[in-house]
Structure 1
Amino acid sequence: MMRTYLLAAEGSVLTKIGRAAHVGNRVAQLQTGQPMTLTVLLDSVGDYEAALHGRFDAQRVRGEWFDLTVLGDPVRLVLAALAALAALAEMAATPPSAAAPQPLLPVPRQLPAPVSHELSAPVPPRPPWSADAFGPDPGGASCRWCGAPVHQGNTRTSRLYCKRAHRQRAFEAERLGLPMLKDRPPAQAPVAPVPVGDHHQCGWCREPLVRQPLGRPVRYCSAGCKQRAYEARKVERAVRAARLAEGGPDQVVT
């Protein structure tokens, strides 16, 4: 078990506060390098070296040597400090239930600061084209292509189309001189069947195609037919290249 000791040197006012498991062996080690006789003034059970060093730090001369004579008797000072440390340790070890009940003091409540609901600056009026994003436009704006109501939202410029695709179709119709979808009679539907012919059949399965009024004409009825036709052309080119390399005719019989 660790012990705390107070050591004095003969002919000096300095005392050493240290700790050791065996005080006698420690004093013998220190005496080897000291010309003065060392005397143990106090030997206490427990490790209080760090606490005592902090308590008498102002009286420290060097290392673990202190000049306690400026405060009084070194032994009485250390005993008083050890008693105070023991009392603190006992209070820390006492469970909270066994301690004396402390009176409960009212805790002052801190109320939040009042919030002013007055606006510092007037809110500018909403523009006439501003509307709820989920409701129709209050001004009655409609899409130039299909005639559907246009939701303006909070845009700064008025929207003329309900979607980007309709804007592109309206541009192509104006370029070709065609009427808008909303201005066409019911007979002029945007999608109309075309009689079956060489140029109006699927390039792979020969199914009749449906010609769109605008845009590039389609050549296949689906992406699968387009992929199969591409693979067939790829095989045909490979066979033709092989026959040309062999010196044979480049015609492929299918």
Structure 2
Amino acid sequence: MTQAKAFPEGETIQWLVELIHQSGLDLNLLKKTWESEGKSIFGYASPTTAIHGPRWDHALIQKIVTPGSRVLDCGCGSGDLLVELIRDHHVLGQGIEIDPVEVQIAVQHGVPVLQADLDVGLDGFGDDIFDFVILERTLQTVHRPLDVLKEMLRVGKVVIASFPNFAHWRNRLQLFLEGRMPQTPSIPYGWYETPNIHHMTIRDFKESLQIINAQIVEGYARSGGLVHPCRDSMI
């Protein structure tokens, strides 16, 4: 992607990436396979591809996930994303959610969901049984994020993750000028009530992947209403 796409304002930078385990999948083979189906693993949001809707991460995930694939959504909430994927791509979807209220809503939406704690692991699933494993805006809320990522890479061929970037300039400005923990549309909580226990930056995330032997296939960032591919210099 060489051009940014416009999205509604009002949310600080998020990062969405695809990960694969270095020893678990042939990246070149995956790329060739998907390109043969008319979709490039390195070009989902090319200048000729339109992305619409208030949930830009949902729009990108819709373009990444292949029809008929097996999808596990970790921290699926009320199941909105799985509803879209099942409806639009006829995926075989499974959700995991710890909040019983959200689980009940997801079930009412017709989404198969298990109530479980991601920090406990994914022992109920075998190796490589999912084509895609998704973790949206949840990584910063778990107690052992690297263990969660390792488990996701174990049960799936491709992991899709998104998180708020704590190093966004608005967050830095609040820290510098106001001397307090930032509050933004994507980090809306006060320090005393936030579920976000592991704030991270894009650089933090990239460096941590070396620990679990994973590599980034593609990354996108959103800032100021624009979505664009991540540069190596981004932090």
TM-score, normalization: structure 1? Answer: 0.16
Q: Considering fraction of residues, name the structure with more strand.
A: 2
Question: Does 1 or 2 have the higher relative contact order (CA < 8 Å, sep 6+)?
Answer: 2
Rg larger for: 1
